[in-house]
Homo-oligomer: A and B are copies of this chain.
Amino acid sequence: MALIVQKYGGTSVANADRIRNVARRVARYQALGHQVVVVVSAMSGETNRLLALAQEIMPEPDPRELDQMISTGEQVTIALTAMALMDLGLKAKSYTGAQVSITTDDAYTKARIMNIDEARIRADLDAGYVVVVAGFQGVDPDGNITTLGRGGSDTTGVALAAALKADECQIYTDVDGVYTTDPRIVPEARRLKSITFEEMLEMASQGSKVLQIRSVEFAGKYKVKLRVLSSFEEEGDGTLITFEEEDNMEQPIISGIAFNRDEAKITVLGVPDRPGIAYQILGPVADANIDVDMIIQNVSADGSTDFTFTVNKTELSKTMAILKDKVQKHIGAREITGDDKIAKVSVVGVGMRSHVGIASQMFRVLAEEGINIQMISTSEIKISVGIEEKYLELAVRVLHKAFQLDQAN
């Protein structure tokens, strides 16, 4: 007998039929002797409906009141899910975040979980109930309702699994696992049986939008066994996300090819090469709450250097304006250029730690196709390159093939 936390996203509970599907799956797990805690999101579309309603009243809704309101989305789904379970003859009980004391800080709309009092859930499980908990929401120490921000339901699932020391946290979504790359670009892409936590972080942050990064970090911190599965398929084991170092031995060298076409590149040309320059350039950008991804500064040849970084495409013009207004003159830079026709392609795998030559193989493959590399950035388990956007699909395909990701491992 295992204790399993199952999290279902908005599309999995979008209507009565799908909620009944969720209930049937839960019933199958219970019939196998497992204890099941179900975490559900709001029905898809509901959160946006509520947000629009709020904005009709207050263009920038007060965060406390917005959370008070938005949290009703999941409150409806937990009740419906519990009813669907009862309709199948199971014992079920729903709880809001506040009712099971998912205590958070008071940062409305992006609160962080501080503590979960799991006693109530455990008592219900032991009494034979399926416990249905609202995702995405909590309560601050003063009893105000909070929400956890984008992807917060995943975080709720993982946090509950950690608090209950569950055997597994299953994240049901509309894909059946993590793939070696996007199957829409490479039809031969394969579902990975498992992926390490660190690879998952790289895959997710690079644009494989299967799981919210925060929930993966959370799972890593508390060593929660996390599995991604499809809620639309009866069979399949999904992809298991692992944390144990010893698992690495069985890992392939490269797990997948991630990519991102949402970034734009900014280059500050002719920057005097002196301490503090990076801060002088990026400080004003950070002050404007603009996230920076890749940062590259090459060694200086003649006392001046070029400084390049990437931001989200939507922030390009704003960032350029900040640099031209506040930075260029101040630091004595020659010119500032922007380019939104770039894409980032990454080769990800924990195995590359111990294998030299991955980088050179990657560069060779791209060179053979005549794809020029504009930027390079590396970490222990990934190599990312910035290339012209029009070559993105080609680059992903040839890399996927070169690293034999189309072959079962």
Seen from chain A, the residues whose Cβ lies within 8 Å of a Cβ on chain B are 16, 19-20, 50, 53-54, 56-58, 61-62, 64-66, 68-69, 71-72, 75-76, 78-80, 82-84, 86-87, 93-94, 96, 98-99, 143-145
Contact = CB atoms under 8 A, between A and B. Distances in A.
A16 B72 contact: no
Given A68-B75, A69-B75, A79-B68, A53 B94 contact: no
A57 to B, nearest CB: 5
Given A72-B72, A75-B72, A98-B98, A80 B62 contact: no
A72 B219 CA distance: 31
Given A62-B86, A82-B62, A86-B58, A53 B76 contact: yes
A80 B49 CA distance: 13
A94 B67 CA distance: 11
A61 B76 CA distance: 13
A80 B54 contact: yes
Contact of A79 (B65, B80, B98): B65
A68 B58 contact: no
> Which interface residue of A16, A61, A65 has the most chain B CB atoms within 10 A?
A65
Given A57-B80, A62-B86, A66-B83, 9 more contacts: A65-B79, A65-B83, A68-B78, A68-B79, A69-B75, A72-B72, A75-B75, A98-B98, A99-B144
Q: Which 3 A-B pairs have the closest CB atoms?
A: A69-B79, A72-B72, A58-B83
Interface of A is mostly: helix
Contacts of A96: 68, 145
Contacts of A57: 16, 19-20, 80, 83-84, 87
Contacts of A93: 64
Contacts of A68: 75, 78-79, 82, 94, 96
Given A19-B57, A87-B57, A79 B94 contact: no
9 contacts: A16-B57, A53-B76, A58-B84, A62-B82, A62-B83, A62-B86, A65-B80, A68-B79, A75-B75
Nearest to A23: B57
B65 A94 contact: yes
A87 B55 CA distance: 11
B66 A72 contact: no
A80 B98 contact: no
> Which interface residue of A58, A65, A71, A79 has the most chain B CB atoms within 10 A?
A79
Contacts of A58: 83-84, 86-87
A367 to B, nearest CB: 57
A50 B76 contact: yes
A40 to B, nearest CB: 12
Given A64-B93, A98-B98, A54 B69 contact: no
Nearest to A64: B93
A61 B83 contact: yes
Nearest to A98: B98
A68 to B, nearest CB: 4
Given A16-B57, A56-B16, A87-B57, A79 B99 contact: no
Contact of A53 (B71, B80, B145): B80
Contacts of A75: 68-69, 71-72, 75
A96 B71 CA distance: 12
A366 to B, nearest CB: 52
Nearest to A15: B56
Contact of A83 (B54, B76, B86): B54
Nearest to A72: B72
Contacts of A61: 83
Contacts of A86: 58, 62, 65
A259 to B, nearest CB: 40
